Amino acid sequence: MALPTPTLGPVANPAVPGRASRVPVGLRRNAPWLVLIVTSITFAEFLTGSTPVLVPLLDPLSALFLVGLYGAGVLLVREASIRWNKGWPTILLLGAAYGIAEEGLGTKTFFGPAGVGYLGVYGHFVGVNWVWAVELDLFHAVWSIALPIAAVGLLFPATQGVSFLPTPRIRWAVLAVFVTTVALMFVLFHRSEIPSIALIVAALAAIAALVAAARRAPAGLGGLGVGRTAQGSGLAPFGLGAAFVWGFFGLAWVGPQLIAVPAVVALAVLAWSVGVGIHLARRRDEFTAPLARLDFVLGTLTFLVVLALVMGVFGDFGVFPVVGVVLYVGWRLRRRLLAPTPVAVPFGAAGGFAT
């Protein structure tokens, strides 16, 4: 299924005046949505070791599942934020709905012990792995959905606010791919751990509630009613992103080993994430600068890069070139943003954050 994409400009390479780009025009025009799909899969699966890099290369069926899940999911969330003229509050709420669809209905790890280890017991109450569910839902909202959208907005600034799914037929087709993928996962994954009808209905109701909240959410962070702080206050954007990701995984992974009450860990992970989000909202004027947004994104990847390198040492050798590409693209993009003075965009269009 080919997705029409916006025109990115003339064929000439803007970085080298007078030189024609060697990249085929078709690839240039389709690059934004392809990069969005690959970025979502990379952040959520390859850098975390959840899926070894060589698996989708050697197993076409696995690749189809990844594209149908992450690719269709992130495309739909981005499209909804554009169609509804919304920003990051909507993207994060829809990302949380996506997390329930993947982990609750698809892999069913929110409910059964398979694949979650100790967290299938620690925090398991009324059929739900609550600590795991909070951690994974927030993870998917941020790293599977929001950060890939932000990254593509920085890499292809001309596409901000521009639809990747311009016709109803394409949008319905992508939605059908996503729903079919989740349904197949429900049938094929962890077949011995089918949750009760009540839990399935509860998961569907939670998804519906999050989508409704996303539709009614303010258009940008300024609509949350959080006051501004002085520009440049607190940690630099890179440090803030790094503090967020290390704090997030520190609470989610170390907390269960130290704290006997699972509810405390789940609430701490949620409070940490919401607290960082509020801090970002208060500093939204600072993040109108693309460089600040890029530094924050790069900061949030520090833990995943270290984790990926450890996974590589222990056998996932294919992750080394992936880490190399991520670091190289981040370095090149940062150089590009430092050279000219980029035009500030609203911190809330798809790829930025609204004020």
Cα–Cα distance between 94 and 101 in angstroms, integer?
10
- Residue 213 amino acid letter: A
> Whole-number mean pLDDT of the chain?
89
Query: SS3 of 129, please?
Result: strand
In sequence order, which residues have a C-beta less than 8 Å from that of residue 299 and are 6 or more positions away? 237, 238, 239, 240, 241, 242, 243, 244, 245
Digit-coded pLDDT (tens) for 80-92: 999 999 999 999 9
**pLDDT higher than 90, residue 348:** no
From first CA to last CA, the distance across the chain in angstroms is 35
User: What average pLDDT does range 47-73 have in this prediction?
Assistant: 95
The confidence score (pLDDT) of residue 52 equals: 93
The confidence score (pLDDT) of residue 340 equals: 66
**pLDDT higher than 80, residue 38:** yes
Cα–Cα distance between 237 and 295 in angstroms, integer?
6
Phi then psi dihedrals of residue 117, to 5 deg: 60, -130
Please answer whether residues 104 and 110 qualify as being in contact, where contact means their C-beta atoms are separated by less than 8 angstroms. Answer: yes
Rg (CA), the chain: 20
Digit-coded pLDDT (tens) for 263-317: 999 999 999 999 999 999 999 999 989 999 999 999 999 999 999 999 999 999 9
**DSSP category for residue 106:** I
**DSSP category for residue 347:** T
Cα–Cα distance between 3 and 163 in angstroms, integer?
10
Digit-coded pLDDT (tens) for 74-129: 999 999 999 999 999 999 999 999 999 999 999 999 998 888 989 999 999 999 99
- 351 pLDDT tier (thresholds 50, 70, 90): very low
How would DSSP label each residue in 84-100?
A: TT--HHHHHHHHHHHHI
Query: Rounded to whole angstroms, what are the CA distances from 161 to 47, 92, 151?
Result: 28, 17, 14
Helices (H) and strands (E) in the chain, counts: 15, 2
- 211 pLDDT tier (thresholds 50, 70, 90): very high
The confidence score (pLDDT) of residue 181 equals: 98
pTM of the shown model: 0.89
Cα–Cα distance between 207 and 186 in angstroms, integer?
16
**pLDDT higher than 70, residue 339:** yes
- 12 pLDDT tier (thresholds 50, 70, 90): very low
Q: Per-residue b/e over 277-296, b at no fewer than 16 CB within 10 Å?
A: bebbbbbbbbbbbbbbbbbb
Please answer whether residues 115 and 107 qualify as being in contact, where contact means their C-beta atoms are separated by less than 8 angstroms. Answer: yes
